[in-house]
Amino acid sequence: MAGVEGRVAVVTGSGGGLGRQHALLFAQRGAKVVVNDLGGSRDGTGAGSEMADRVVDEINRGGGDAVANYDNVATPEGGKAIVQSAVEAFGTLDIVVNNAGILRDVTFHKMDDAQWDAVLKVHLYGSYHVTRAAWPLLREKNYGRVVVTTSTSGLYGNFGQSNYGAAKLGVVGMINTLALEGRKYNVHANAVAPIAATRMTEDIMPEEVLATLDPAFVSPLVVHLSSEECSTSGEVVLAGGGNYARVHYMQAKGAAFPGVPSVDDIASTWDQIMDMDGAELGQPLSG
Ligand code: NAI
């Protein structure tokens, strides 16, 4: 097998926006696709089968092979049912693209528990539930590709998105470890940080900028990361409007003390601790 041909892919939240484009491209490249979407609104309220059904029709009419699933990624039962859909329809699962997402934007000062929880549940727990349900299958078959969807809001911060940013950096924390634990089973895990014109961004960027950000630009990256040939794992790659770039933490040379330094020692070496000249890629402790 080459690329993603003949592989079985689950794409969560693929009833619209970026996920739809990913699902269409997977199908075009010969993968069988589970189009999962809860079918709700941008803030996660509501549900329905039309969104997923429409994408499945589009794929199947074009000669591809797709089935719909309407389960909620935010629950353990939902995660299991999504993976089960792939197994029932296609006999196995090779690729998990965690893309489903919602927004509940509000400044931290006004954040309530429900707004915090709803966003964490879909993005962070959602990525966990679906990937957790898939993991034994991938390990057992000695093949798997996991993609999570992060955001510059998590990587760098964004006003009014502390809940979203926390969830989005949480999924990067998850794949950093999945990359280490999956390596010997040929299971790779990476994150994409998209920037695209979808219902999620339609009112936060000017029209002329949105016009340059067709979500289709992001999908070739997602499909590449999901392909047999791609051995990259544990990386974050940004994609938007035709630009693609790796994102990685850099660690400064810093300062070292033989014993516990005083607060004054830290203060007096602060410039050296913060200096990024000669910084190197941050590395895990092991692996
Ligand atoms: P979108 O709103 O069009 O897509 C999200 C999809 O997820 C929707 O179709 C929605 O129905 C589905 N969904 C929501 N909650 C779900 C649940 N609990 N279970 C199953 N499906 C659910 O927005 P977009 O932009 O396509 O977002 C896709 C992903 O990309 C999200 O994770 C988002 O956070 C991320 N992202 C998007 C950016 C952009 O510029 N559009 C920037 C950074 C990240």
Other CB atoms within a 10 A radius of the CB of residue 216 amount to 14
- CB distance 99 to ligand 1 below 6 Å: yes
| Each residue's pLDDT expressed in tens, for the chain with a length of 287 residues | 589 999 999 999 999 999 999 999 999 999 999 999 999 999 999 999 999 999 999 999 999 999 999 999 999 999 999 999 999 999 999 999 999 999 999 999 999 999 999 999 999 999 999 999 999 999 999 999 999 999 999 999 999 999 999 999 999 999 999 999 999 999 999 999 999 999 999 998 999 999 999 999 999 999 999 999 999 999 999 999 999 999 999 999 999 999 999 999 999 999 999 999 999 999 888 64
Cα of 54 vs centre of ligand 1, distance in Å, is: 16
Which pLDDT score, from 0 to 100, does residue 1 have?
59
Best mutation site among 56, 195, 198, 212 for ligand 1 pocket (most ligand atoms within 8 Å of CB): 198
Which pLDDT score, from 0 to 100, does residue 229 have?
97
Cα of 191 vs centre of ligand 1, distance in Å, is: 14
- CB distance 50 to ligand 1 below 6 Å: no
Best mutation site among 20, 38, 169 for ligand 1 pocket (most ligand atoms within 8 Å of CB): 38
Give the atom of ligand 1 at the shortest distance from the alpha carbon of 164: 34
Other CB atoms within a 10 A radius of the CB of residue 259 amount to 6
CA-to-CA dists, residue 88 to 29, 80, 115, 189, 239, angstroms: 21, 12, 35, 24, 33
Residue bearing tokens 């005083």: 262
Pick from 120, 129, 121, 35: nearest CA to 77: 129
Which pLDDT score, from 0 to 100, does residue 285 have?
82
Task: Please give the positions annotated as active site.
Answer: 164
- CB distance 102 to ligand 1 below 6 Å: yes
Which pLDDT score, from 0 to 100, does residue 286 have?
65
- CB distance 17 to ligand 1 below 6 Å: yes
- CB distance 154 to ligand 1 below 6 Å: no
Which pLDDT score, from 0 to 100, does residue 238 have?
98
Taking the model in full, what pTM does it have?
A: 0.98
Tell me the C-alpha distance between 152 and 281, whole Å: 19
What DSSP character marks residue 142? Answer: T
Give the atom of ligand 1 at the shortest distance from the alpha carbon of 168: 34
- CB distance 198 to ligand 1 below 6 Å: yes
